[in-house]
Chain A
Amino acid sequence: MAGAAGPGTGPGAAGGDGDDSLYPIAVLIDELRNEDVQLRLNSIKKLSTIALALGVERTRTELLPFLTDTIYDEDEVLLALAEQLGNFTGLVGGPDFAHCLLPPLESLATVEETVVRDKAVESLRQISQEHTPVALEAHFVPLVKRLASGDWFTSRTSACGLFSVCYPRASNAVKAEIRQHFRSLCSDDTPMVRRAAASKLGEFAKVLELDSVKSEIVPLFTNLASDEQDSVRLLAVEACVSIAQLLSQEDLEALVMPTLRQAAEDKSWRVRYMVADKFSELQKAVGPKITLNDLIPAFQNLLKDCEAEVRAAAAHKVKELCENLPAEGRETIIMNQILPFIKELVSDTNQHVKSALASVIMGLSTILGKENTIEHLLPLFLAQLKDECPEVRLNIISNLDCVNEVIGIRQLSQSLLPAIVELAEDAKWRVRLAIIEYMPLLAGQLGMEFFDEKLNSLCMAWLVDHVYAIREAATNNLMKLVQKFGTEWAQNTIVPKVLVMANDPNYLHRMTTLFCINVLSEACGQEITTKQMLPIVLKMAGDQVANVRFNVAKSLQKIGPILDTDALQEEVKPVLQKLGQDEDMDVKYFAQEAISAVAQRLRKLDCSAKASEEPSARGADKNHFLRPRGPGEDTGKAHRERAARAVSEEAVEAARLQTRPSKGPAHQLHGNTRDTLAQLEIAELVHFSQSGD
């Protein structure tokens, strides 16, 4: 701790720009070497600050060498370092000095831990762009070569990610060398390196000249695609997409297709899965002609593969595949070459396959048009709607809108209904939850009449589900339905049923009424809220269960903004004040919260009333406790404010006294300030009403 005294005096004495010397590198390095990992990590994360304190030159000559030579640390620290260095170009003096950052990043690119290595490579890629072409060849390319011929697999793996960033800007001679290095990594002894090379093959191909792609990349691709390890072969499929985009149709047919055909029939399901997973990309890359000749048959095989994983991946791609077929002749191809296989999958033994298919199959109807949909797809939809696996049924229902556009939903309604009813009563609440979420969509598609007749009772039944999440979702569902069908419908069908529940013997159901009112009030508007809902809420303030009572307070706070001044003043406020005196701590707390909100609302109403009623006489609204103030009453206002402050101080005292002995729920224990604020609001309210009299 040679410079331990430095920082103590540093900040105080520091002045001007000459304060670099006050932070000797030794002190900073001590921080970077601290025994505590967390402190080391903190220091590394502020490396840019340290560099800034040192200035560019000392960062280059002192900090970076230290980082390069002496850091053998926890991977977490190394990761932070690798990340920092990617943005360090400015701190070492700009692009001319960017190469100074290469040595530490080079050693980070060779460490064992993958995340550190990957981050170092990412930073190196970033920095490579900041190099001048000369510096790139003088510093960066040699680094890539060193990594590519490192003796442990980690450095060679890292090298794979750097070829594509330095190749385009290198001179021809250097380019040849870079290609040579990449070639040797593709046939590396270690599968880890071959995997890294295979995963970068496509990216590298894109920056190469077309001739080199044909003469060098294609053979590499062919080799990797027939590697002895399936983990390498499957990565070649990915590269195939990029390479195919670069070649002409003839070259494609001659150079790439044999390998791709082979991959689609690989003996390892992982490779076949990869082909299925990348199918749409492959289809776009090879173009329509090869798709018809080669990919469609390959796809048929994937759809009837022996591994469910592969079938599911292929099933997922059905819609995209059909969409991307050339419009001309599309219908025939789908009808003759795809649909028969889809029909098989509808009764697959594996539920993942069926549900993958169900998630896309509806999309085919827009492609095939009305008649084909009715004749060929509809039976499949109906079969899937009756599937034993709920996920399959849900996937069909969630995509109903596609079909609706083509044939209208009526065609399905006969089968739809039993499926919905069954899902609505499924033993798993997550399934019930999922179907509730589609209700607004279904309501929109089926229309009000059908809905009232068949589904309304379901929606009401969910309100008394024994799982809270379902009741909650059912409540929100009602709001969305009201938004769809309008307030009149709400008044006639929903609201009465909801309000009846207020008398239910089960307090959970009574609370559901309140929750419904919370969300419905806004959708239903002021009139319904005031006339139908408010009386019920107010009545429930006398409920014997405290949970219901404090939810009354919360509801009143929620619906406050919808009510008018009269209702607030004459109905809501007295009830809240009564609840504010409740024996239960929670009820009291929420009543106070509501009172303050209502008070605010009233003041706002008052202001707007004042603004709109400007022309009318000052004393006209004598009924209002909040009399609009004229400009001449300023002294009065000041007086009132003083008084209010006095009262509020009392209120604070009162609040303190009140809350001190309380042993209420947690929110009250740390809710003192809020309570006090609530009290203050009350105090103001009380004061104004007194002065109004």
Chain B
Amino acid sequence: METKLPPASTPTSPSSPGLSPVPPPDKVDGFSRRSLRRARPRRSHSSSQFRYQSNQQELTPLPLLKDVPASELHELLSRKLAQCGVMFDFLDCVADLKGKEVKRAALNELVECVGSTRGVLIEPVYPDIIRMISVNIFRTLPPSENPEFDPEEDEPNLEPSWPHLQLVYEFFLRFLESPDFQPSVAKRYVDQKFVLMLLELFDSEDPREREYLKTILHRVYGKFLGLRAYIRKQCSHIFLRFIYELEHFNGVAELLEILGSIINGFALPLKTEHKQFLVRVLIPLHSVKSLSVFHAQLAYCVVQFLEKDATLTEHVIRGLLKYWPKTCTQKEVMFLGEMEEILDVIEPSQFVKIQEPLFKQVARCVSSPHFQVAERALYFWNNEYILSLIEDNCHTVLPAVFGTLYQVSKEHWNQTIVSLIYNVLKTFMEMNGKLFDELTASYKLEKQQEQQKARERQELWQGLEELRLRRLQGTQGAKEAPLQRLTAQVATSGGQS
């Protein structure tokens, strides 16, 4: 068995959310960006259920499960399940109150029963149970009322039918967790299609629903071995769509949380499929605009991978460098945080491979005019392990960062940053005084060389431009005809001559 779920990292039930082992990302600044924005008037909540079954037989309360003799228990159970398969309109909060209450009571009783009574779950009730669950939870999620919904700022739309839906989820969870539960029987009903629809529900805006889904999917992954590969594949499809097509999916953090524990259970050596998932799905996930919503979970997954297989480090770090944020400083701080987490577990042999590009990026961050970015980058020097890595490789790292640090120490507007840089430069001096002196001496020279290079570059391009113009004039009398066509003609005739 290539994957196993260590019980230590399995999610607990939603009532005591303790699944996330990773702390949430620190709020980068104290200002809420759009605090002044007026809450938009609530539109009447649209229905998530398309076409209710035309109502409807009146629901009448059935006898309690505990009051009937064991011989009639299963017959009553399936009648109750059928009753719970009747759907109600929750947009109209006064409609059919009696029916709603009957269903609620029945669901409560089912939850109770499946959790505590042994011997209830016999084979014939499985299809009824799955049917009841499917009817209730599977629905096309309603259109988002706020197209630019920001999970950090906006209030989510809560599912109106939650009073029933919650009980259905609770029942589903207890069903899966029951000691009587037999995956070998259930797998006939919990199939790929079922899982696919379950995954689609992760887009729900209601965090309560996603919390339940997360735990349920985790149990499903644990119990249905035959569905594992399929679940992983569908998750990566959801992520890829999220990255490259939509940039909108509410349940990314929850799915990543499950994946974190899945990765934890991967057997070694890692399969190519898993490595590919890291490189082609998890790393590109860093490029998404709403990274802050799921960054903690994502970073956890990445570090899990590196702890499993250190040889992936180079891929990961080069990937992060590729997707390094250009304009969003908040994301830049997150990247720096993740990078430090990675460096915490990096093997020295891997560090050597990426030290140069990595520290060039760190130096760029130090020179960021946004002081939080600069500060976060400079905190790397407070990390003992990183410092020891730098010391061991100071002949490469120092030249990579020295120029920038030296320059920024003279130019940065923020005094805290300047003094932090002085500390860093001091550590460098203590680390290797000779190298430090050499670098200080050659700094000016390098600056001049840079200018020289820039001049040469300019001359090169000027020359090329002149050459181009000369060619245009040489072969063509007209000077002002469209360039595209001209270059094409010039090139053709140039090829002949």
Contact = CB atoms under 8 A, between A and B. Distances in A.
Interface of A: 4, 6-8, 10-11, 14, 17, 19, 22-23, 27, 31, 35, 39, 46, 48-53, 55-57, 74, 87, 89-94, 112-114, 152-153, 190-192, 195, 228, 230-231, 267-270, 306-309, 349-352
Contact of A57 (B44, B240, B488, B495): B495
25 contacts: A6-B460, A7-B460, A8-B459, A10-B463, A11-B459, A11-B463, A31-B460, A49-B461, A49-B468, A52-B487, A52-B490, A53-B468, A56-B491, A87-B484, A90-B487, A90-B491, A91-B491, A93-B492, A94-B495, A190-B237, A230-B140, A269-B140, A306-B46, A309-B143, A351-B43
Nearest to A230: B140
Contact of A228 (B196, B462, B497): B196
Nearest to A76: B326
A261 to B, nearest CB: 16
Given A92-B491, A349-B44, 7 more contacts: A8-B456, A11-B463, A19-B467, A23-B464, A268-B50, A307-B47, A350-B43
B466 A11 contact: yes
Nearest to B490: A52
Given A7-B456, A306-B47, A153 B464 contact: no
B246 to A, nearest CB: 9
Contacts of B490: 52, 90
Quick one: which of A17, A55, A90, A308 has the most chain B CB within 10 A?
Answer: A90
Given A74-B322, A93-B491, A306-B51, A192 B459 contact: no
Nearest to B460: A7
A269 to B, nearest CB: 6
B124 interface: no
B495 A191 contact: no
A157 to B, nearest CB: 9
Nearest to A151: B276
Nearest to A231: B241
A195 B471 CA distance: 47
Contacts of B468: 49, 52-53
B142 interface: yes
B464 A308 contact: no
Interface residue tally on B, bucketed by range: 35 or more
A112 B283 CA distance: 11
Contacts of A22: 463
B79 interface: no
A11 B462 contact: yes
B456 A4 contact: yes
A291 to B, nearest CB: 24
B465 interface: yes
B37 interface: no
B419 to A, nearest CB: 29
Main secondary structure of the interface of B (DSSP, over half): helix
Sorted from nearest, which 9 A-B pairs have the closest CB atoms? A90-B488, A7-B460, A11-B463, A56-B495, A268-B140, A93-B495, A90-B491, A10-B463, A91-B491
A34 to B, nearest CB: 8
Interface string B163-197: 00000000000000000000000000000010010
B25 interface: no
Contacts of B98: none
Contacts of B46: 306-309
Contacts of B465: 49
Contact of B280 (A4, A6, A112): A112
A349 B497 CA distance: 75
Contacts of B453: 4
B494 interface: yes
Contacts of A7: 456-457, 459-460, 463
B331 to A, nearest CB: 16
